[in-house]
Structure 1
């Protein structure tokens, strides 16, 4: 398993590139990023050990552009220096590379495509504009309407069917942050209106990999407050 990602300060411009000699994968990541979290979650679910290097995306180290010319996270590096980036590309690579370790995606190309389409549908419907944190009524209405549609879409215990699967792990980070967003923006998100989503979230939180990857709500709340205040702090709660 990886070290707790909460303990690793983000590297900035001028920093030295970390070196590892343990033979593990390395994930270049960002705290509180749902895209980065989905990669860490998948690796934890498959019980694959990995190193974490957190990258400050508003003050990126110069050397990081040699890893990913776009400068984005997440990015996965093999011990031999091979690089894969873009979160869903990385996730599918992990699934194929470690397919024998708790396989999640079907071999059939069409069924794979259906699952990836569902990921895009759920995220596209449930995503939110950060102006909702500032009390934007239109953004709040959009979030609430999206959650209502997601509630209608969810017809089984898990998005992948009767048990947790690839789709569930890929969309989870967008839902994990909802309790913190609700506390800041007072969005309508309740057992009365969204019983299926909340029941699914409860089931997800019984999965060890989800629990070990998830952020504490209070810490996430502090991060969102820093974003709302215009002084975003990816290292909130950490000591340098």
Structure 2
């Protein structure tokens, strides 16, 4: 059964190759989307090539709704986006994928039923298809090579849907020992280096010593150190001093 999470339906309009339908299913499931609709697939349905390409996302194909035409595929939807790379003479709002999925998330939260249409691989949707949509999604691609593979387009929109619905951390430090050093850890490290450098005569001449110490403290404060980093730097200094006394 489909997941309970509210989400847009992804509607594939006259897809031509089973492999692309399967790849689109994988792309959808990468981002937690499982409402696939297939309108007038060229090679009929079900399609063994789609199943083979879907790999772990075969459930989406088993549960996909198949429609004979665009109107049938969108019958229960209240707001529809059409993806296209080509300029159209139809008057509609044109969204970037990011803005479209933010808008979709807001509409779904209000109880609307949203769909995103994706056109056939060879030529994309016709104006008669896009006329069913309330808005257009256009990707800022290379104008000299604007065509996207069906699964690529599904992946891109699915990614933006995930970003619109989930809190995404832009940067994260990963590893086995990533506890961030506390201020007391940094302070102890700063004193350790300052004391040893003082003994070595580093802070010279005397009238510049205080400013040099401030700059050194500022250096430690700017560095995003983990507790493991601090321990390593303490150890490195101790080893250097041991080598000097041998």
Looking at secondary structure, tell me which structure has more strand per residue.
Answer: 2
Larger Rg: 2
**Structure 1 length-normalised TM:** 0.23
**Structure 2 length-normalised TM:** 0.23
